[in-house]
Structure 1
Amino acid sequence: MKKSLIILASTLLINGCQSEHWGYSGDESPKHWGDLHKNYSLCSSGKNQSPINLTNLIESDLAAIEFNYGTLVSDIVNNGHTVQANYAAGSSITLNGHSFDLKQFHFHTPSENHINGKSYPMEAHLVHADKAGNLAVVAVMFEQGDANSAMADLWKQIPKKAGDKHSLSSKVNASNLLPENKDYYRFNGSLTTPPCTEGVLWLVMKNSVSVSKQQIETFSNVIHHANNRPIQAINARPVLQ
């Protein structure tokens, strides 16, 4: 994949701007994404698309992810497709000696990825990029249960209208969204939104985190629709654990 396309995908994902409008229903729904713009062709023709149902898992000696989240959320934006928390520079993950900087995290309800056929009420995507623009996404599944303290701080200033952006006064560290046990699944995939760029490293946490029914409903009431792309074909991709 050309580096320029990877960098373009990173910019699109971080800034939430696309060259052609898309959505989750009607003529702009996921099944039409590939026809909306020539830059979105991978949404229909790609062979390594996300999300997937993580199944037929292959045992592997995966290296631990080193989480270095020392900075905090800078602002939170409603881009019409999700609520996205932009992250101050200086936080990263390291995997096999390779570093990816945390750029932003955002949410989907219900979950986009499934694990052994199970869908979750909410999923967070923590989006990272290395110096070349290659992307790594840490995905966290949420189960309905007790309220999540980090999400409570985020939702205090949740932007209720598309296009709204708020500076965050509450101190929110992305590490508080992660499960205590950092075991994960790994596969190669794509962005789950146009332009559906492939070459994205997916790191899906095995263990879920609790979120309350009210917190899920707060997000749903702001976005006004489900914002999950349907499951895509795994094809020949291995899913490692």
Structure 2
Amino acid sequence: MRTLLTLLACCCVVSAAVGADKDPLISPSTKTALPGGAAGAASSSASGSASASAPARKLSKREEEAQAEADLSVRIQERLAAMRANQQARAAAAAKAKKVAAAKAAAVAAVPKVYSNVWSYEGEAGPANWGKINPAWARCGSGNRQSPIDIRDGMKVDLEQITFDYHPSSFNVTDNGHTVQVMVGNGNFITVGNRTYELVQFHFHRPSEERINGKGFEMVMHLVHKDGEGRIAILALLLERGKPQPVIQNVWNNLPLEKFDTAVPSSTLDPMDLIPARRDYFTFMGSMTTPPCEENVLWLVMKEPVQASPAQMALFSRLYPLNARPTQPSNGRIIKESQ
């Protein structure tokens, strides 16, 4: 009997020890108070392991959509920020380039521009480009009253005769690189239209710059006159082959030996010896036929040609095979001629 009671008591003690963890009446402090703290450590390790190995909770469809929207918004913001940065960089580069260009333009503008004064009757410096070579010659390319012209459809009227007051005068001869130019002494005049002009110089062109109803001539002489107010009147004498002309021969006898030189002979010449017997003429307003091609020039073109010998013409052609500006449109200008 005593032995039975002892066995029952031992069983109760063992049962109590084994079930202590499941007994709600046992406090946590009691659990940790077990020898060596083994129960508490074991409990903590088991809890952490369970938490680490637990699977992540699956998001709902609404949560997934919200997450995707948030991600897209972030990417858009990043893209916009990059675009703004690129735009700012390009704007800064453009502003810098504009500033540099403006500085270069200002530097170029500050340098005085030098235009060419070189022109010719052929090539890149020829009549087609005179108006482009130098702004001061703009009329050569776009003027309204440019010369020479093909004289057509003249209105036949009773023009007053040109009054000539020429006499023997001193002269000099210059080969100016474009033509032979003869400067005449003072005191030689013409009167036309109640205005008097003084002869300044005459020169030659080959072929003739003027045409009459489409017909050209082998050469022409231009006698340039000015009045007291600077107005210009040019008397054109068309040259055709025939007998020798004494004034022209006098000029040829005194040609300088080098281009751009001037000969000053001791002899005289009489411009009146150039004027044909018949004094009928065409008249119109035009321009000088060399740069700067200034306009408001009164032109008087004698109808009767002046004769010069083939040898006289050949001598000039050796110097200047071509030194004539092409004819220009008449642009509806008024042309009068003697009846």
Q: Does TM, normalized by the shorter one, top 0.5?
A: yes
Specify which of 184, 188, 211 is matched with residue 91 of structure 1.
188
SS at match of 1:214: helix
What's the counterpart of residue 232 of structure 1?
328
Ranges of 4+ aligned residues in structure 1 off by more than 6 Å:
none
1:188-210 per-residue CA deviation (whole Å, 9 max, x = no partner) reads: 00000000110000000010011
Q: Which has the higher contact order (CA 8 A, sep 6+)?
A: 1
Greater Cα shift, 150-159 or 22-31: 150-159
More helix by proportion, 1 or 2? Answer: 2
Deviation at 1:146, TM superposition (A): 1.4
Q: Rg: which structure is higher?
A: 2
More strand by proportion, 1 or 2? Answer: 1
Specify which of 155, 163, 169 is matched with residue 72 of structure 1.
169
Q: Distance in 1 between matches of 2:254 and 2:232?
A: 28
> Tell me, which stretches of 5 or more residues in structure 1 are unaligned?
1-17
**Aligned-partner residue type, residue 266 of structure 2:** S
| TM-score, normalised via structure 1 length | 0.89
Greater Cα shift, 105-114 or 148-157: 148-157
Over aligned residue pairs, what C-alpha RMSD do you find? 1.4
Alignment of 1:162-173 (within 5 A): 162-173=259-270
SS at match of 2:136: helix
What's the counterpart of residue 137 of structure 2?
40
Contact 2:174 2:261 in 1 (8 A): yes
1:32-73 per-residue CA deviation (whole Å, 9 max, x = no partner) reads: 100010110000110110000011111112111101112424
**Aligned-partner residue type, residue 57 of structure 1:** G
Q: Percent identity?
A: 39
Count of matched residue positions in the alignment of Structure 1 and Structure 2: 223
SS at match of 1:32: helix
1:54-97 per-residue CA deviation (whole Å, 9 max, x = no partner) reads: 11111112111101112424211110011011010111101132
> Tell me, which stretches of 5 or more residues in structure 2 are unaligned?
1-114
Alignment of 1:65-214 (within 5 A): 65-214=162-311
Q: Distance in 2 between matches of 1:160 and 1:80?
A: 13
Q: Distance in 1 between matches of 2:308 and 2:214?
A: 20
Contact 1:160 1:222 in 2 (8 A): no
